[in-house]
Structure 1
Amino acid sequence: MQRCVLFVGGGLETLPGLELAKAMGLAVAVSDGNPAAPGLALADHPLVASTYDPAATVTAARALAGRRPIDGVLCLAVDVPHTVAAVAEALGLPGIGAQAARLAMDKLAMKARLAARGLPVPFFAPVPDVPALLAIVARRGRDLVLKPVDSRGARGVQRLARLDDLGAAFAEALRHSPTGRVMVEQFLGGPQLSTESLVVEGVAVTPGFSDRNYEYLDRFAPFIIENGGELPTRLPPDTVAAVADLVDRAARALGIGRGVVKGDIVIHQGEPFVIELAARLSGGYFCSHEIPRSTGVDLLGAAIRQCLGEAVPAAELAPRLARGVAQRWLFADPGVVTAVEGLAAARAVPGVFHLELRAGPGDVVAPINCHPARLGVVMAEADTREGAVAAAEAAVATIAVKTRPLGPAGAPHG
């Protein structure tokens, strides 16, 4: 019988993982609370259970395990390590454990643990209410970031220096927290990195370093929206080594002795600081598309094998290439999409290997206030980083998503 891997989450960005697992000769189970999730249609064993409901997912996984063995469990492009840990514990599978998963999902607890272990993190504090927020701003100024303690995808994340109504900002952050908790942290200027590592025998090995692009901070203020990323990183080797060491120490501090860790790191005044560390495979096609094309490392395949209990040699994660890969997200003015132009020309730009538009005529484009609201993505590769950036930006420039404004009550004009 084929070995079976369970992916918790079946969204669009999970599909490359499902396809790779099938190509590896594995049976694929997928759990998702949305019966129309694309991953369920691709799965050999679809399970309808919310990714954010560990008990429901465990129940569904146990039912499947009663019919055929499940050999491994992981998540890709959805931040649910607590659900993955619950399934792993219930079925006796390799995993990171409930405590590490809890720390990885709770930004406040994560920061507290990292700070207690002496790791560099921005100033942070819980914000129980608006008066507490006003008091923190009075002491530390407005160059702060307000965020939900336990949400993802930049939902509710706002830079206070870019807005006036702190009460409204608090309400926005609060409504995105499942547990009703809000925190604040210092905004640290400097280059930001996405990293992706596999923890092998207790050591985080990091083949993935992507420079994050934030050219639209003014356009989407006060929300902090990433516009893309670029590999290889432009940072010097000693800084890259310092980042890799910090990610390793952060994973150890959170008790993650195996599995994937995805880091959000800022280089502030020449020193790396941890913004967040997630215990999951990344979204945005970082692990499935960018890292292998840039470095030659099959991080996604290695993570799948590791979750099945296989040993992954650290040497297998050493980059063998340094090709340029660039990603740029697509945006449009809010309103109803009336036309989409230039897709064929964009796909024809030399170097473009992935173009995805998530809206078409008749769809409503909401104001951009978080990463899931982005309209689509273009990815390109070249021998150099600069060539990849030029190709991705040339493709974006050919695409026009035309909209007409909504009426006062949210209905289309016309």
Structure 2
Amino acid sequence: MTDVRRKTTVLLLDRIGYSFYQDRDGRRFLPEDRCSVRLVTSLDKVDEATGKELESVVAVDVYDNRALAEAVHHQAGFKGHRADRLVAITERLLLRAAELREELGLPGQTVREALLFRDKVRMKEHLSAHGIRVPEFAPFSEAAALELLSRTGAVVAKPRLGSGARDIFVLREPADIASFAAGHASRLDEFEVEEFIDGELFHVDSVVQDSKVVAAVAARYIDETTSYTRLRPCRDVALGPGPQLDALLEFNERVLAAHPGFTGVTHHEMFVRDGDIVFCEIGARAGGGGVIAGFLSRTGVNLDEAVIQAQVEGTVPLPAAPAGHLTGFTVIYAGAGVLQRPLTPPDEPWVLECQVLARPGDRLERPENCNDAVAIVSVRGDSEDEVIRRLDQVGRHMVPVLSAAD
């Protein structure tokens, strides 16, 4: 008997453009033979919406909650046929996607589950209850910030639902707290305050099936994630074998064990101070910068594809054990002005990927978050030192040349 399987009807919420939902060879993450796609995409990305698998396309401002809800409800019942899954991969859309799933009665990550990966207060409350070392923290109030400052010497205020390393404030004096509170009085309930951890920042990127890590790669931020505020590159290098790698992977497994049933991809950041590991934050998404290129190079799995497969099928691709070579990336920023020269990487076989995000003639504004880059270059090497030397070579080769905007 012929096995005729009905296609899965996938309602996809998109901000980055539909051309990103495929690999370098053009293989679709939502293939025509298995999926029928109903797309809700950004107004400025609608021209990318092409493919035989697309059943219907609606373009809206995806950060307008009402417009997004109307578009999703339309697509969910398009032509009287109910969608099977609602999918989103962009961090700022994950919580909204969970809310819409619950409204529509669709399976997938719930609001409660999503908040544990989005709300920095909820995630630390949850993990602290499971014995994970987290910074001391509280929803922001002047009283809570002052009390915490009196015991820790410095505190950090950051948005509870923040992304892109934006609106992060280190407060070292009572006057700093008063100034911050006055400047953000209309939205203080959006912030948390936590102890400042003076340590190195690392991240572990994982593919996870039912809260078990299938594959993971750890890396160290060479530069602060807020380097964009100084127009300095942000470099990142994978860790080679050793006790530190083992300790970070073990900590990562403990954190993920506190999320029973979770299947998908995580980007998990943690501090290391005097040999102790302290949780920073975790997202149910692929990491930014060159994380995807590096993970693909070492395991053969595209993290964005793994996110989509997890949300559509409830499973993740089976990665290979991480390869012996290491990878790294540099994120390049520019100030305000008109870009004069093309940004091209060194012509070297060790360049894995170059994402050129600005071209000559583009009018650039000063970056507002860590995603506002002009280029992201990923490289490989046989050691951490070799990767760092190659990243620095890229930095010397790709210096943005600007002229003043008219």
Which range, TM-score by smaller chain? 0.7 to 0.9
Q: Distance in 1 between matches of 2:76 and 2:339?
A: 47
TM-score by length of structure 2 reads 0.80
Whether 1:340 aligns to 2:351 is no
Contact 1:10 1:37 survives alignment (8 Å):
yes
Check 1:182–1:325 CA distance in 2 against 1; reply closer, same or farther (3 A cut). Answer: same
Looking at structure 2, the residues matched to 216 and 118 of structure 1 have their Cα atoms a distance apart, in angstroms, of: 27
Name the SS for the 1:274 alignment partner.
strand
- Distance in 1, Cα, partners of 2:235 & 2:46: 24
Q: 2:153 aligns to what?
A: 141
Contact 1:5 1:28 in 2 (8 A): yes
Superposed, 1:353-364 pairs within 5 Å as: 353-361=352-360, 363-364=362-363
Counterpart in the other structure of 2:236: 229
CA positional deviation for 1:60 = 2.8
Question: Are 1:154 and 2:165 counterparts?
Answer: yes
1:210 deviates by 2.3
After superposition, residues 11-50 of structure 1 pair within 5 angstroms as 11=16, 15-19=19-23, 20-22=28-30, 25=33, 26-32=35-41, 34-37=42-45, 41-42=49-50, 44=54, 45-50=56-61
In 1, Cα distance between equivalents of 2:72 and 2:311: 16
Normalised by the length of structure 1, the TM-score is 0.79
The equivalent position to 1:7 in structure 2, one of 12, 17, 22, is 12
Change (3 A) 1:368 1:309: closer
Residue 152 of structure 1: how far off its partner (Å) = 1.0
Partner of 2:132: 119
Deviation at 1:38, TM superposition (A): 6.2
What whole-Å deviation, never above 9, does each CA across 1:12-48 have from its counterpart, x for those lacking one?
Answer: 6x7433454146854444434x300368535734333
Structure 2 Cα separation of the partners of residues 217 and 90 of structure 1 = 37
Does 2:201 align with 1:192?
yes
Q: CA deviation at 1:271?
A: 2.5
Distance 2:131 2:399 in 1: 48
Identity across aligned pairs (percent)? 21
Out of 263, 266, 271, the residue aligned to residue 261 of structure 1 is 266
Matched AA of 1:337: V
Give yes or no for contact 1:323–1:385 (8 Å, CA) kept in 2: no
2:324 maps to 1:322? yes
Residue number in structure 2 paired with 1:128: 141
Task: Say yes or no: does 1:240 pair with 2:250.
Answer: no
CA drift at 1:123: 1.6
Find the aligned partners of 2:179 and 2:82 in 1 and give their Cα distance. Answer: 49
> Contact (CA 8 Å) 2:264, 2:315: kept in 1 or not?
no
Show the counterpart of 1:401: 400
Secondary structure in 2 aligned to 1:260?
strand
Counterpart code for 1:230:
V
Distance in 2, matches of 1:162 and 1:352, equals 44
Q: Aligned match of 1:84 in 88, 94, 97?
A: 97
Alpha-carbon distance, 1:263 to partner? 0.8
Deviations 1:263-309 (Å, cap 9, x if unpaired)?
1112222232210111223333423x220102334444343323222
Query: Could you give the per-residue CA deviations for residues 92-118 of structure 1, whole angstroms, max 9, x where no partner exists?
Result: 544222211123221112212222222
Q: Give unmatched runs, 5+ long, in structure 1.
A: 406-411
Q: Measured at CA, do residues 42 and 239 of structure 1 come closer, stay the same or move farther in structure 2, by a change above 3 Å?
A: farther
Aligned to 2:3: none
In structure 2, the partner of 1:408 is: none
Aligned length: 391
With 296-305 and 18-27 compared, the bigger mean Cα shift is at 18-27
Deviation at 1:371, TM superposition (A): 0.9
TM-aligned CA distance change 1:241 to 1:317, over 3 Å: farther
SS in 2 for 1:374: coil
Provide structure 2 residue ranges, at least 5 long, that are not aligned to the other structure.
1-5
SS at 1:10 equivalent: coil
Change over 3 Å in CA distance of 1:18–1:79 after alignment to 2: farther
Contact 2:289-2:330 at 8 Å conserved across structures: no
Mapped to 2, the partners of 1:72 and 1:394 lie a distance apart of: 45
- State the Cα distance separating 1:207 from its structure 2 match: 1.9
| 1:61 match: secondary structure | helix
Q: Tell me what 2:294 maps to.
A: 290
**What SS class does the counterpart of residue 340 from structure 1 fall into?**
coil
Q: 2:308 aligns with which of 300, 304, 310?
A: 304
Q: Which residue of structure 1 aligns with residue 190 of structure 2?
A: 181
Distance 1:163 1:226 in 2: 32
Q: 1:146 Cα shift?
A: 1.7
Counterpart code for 2:43: P
Question: Cα RMSD between the aligned structures?
Answer: 3.6
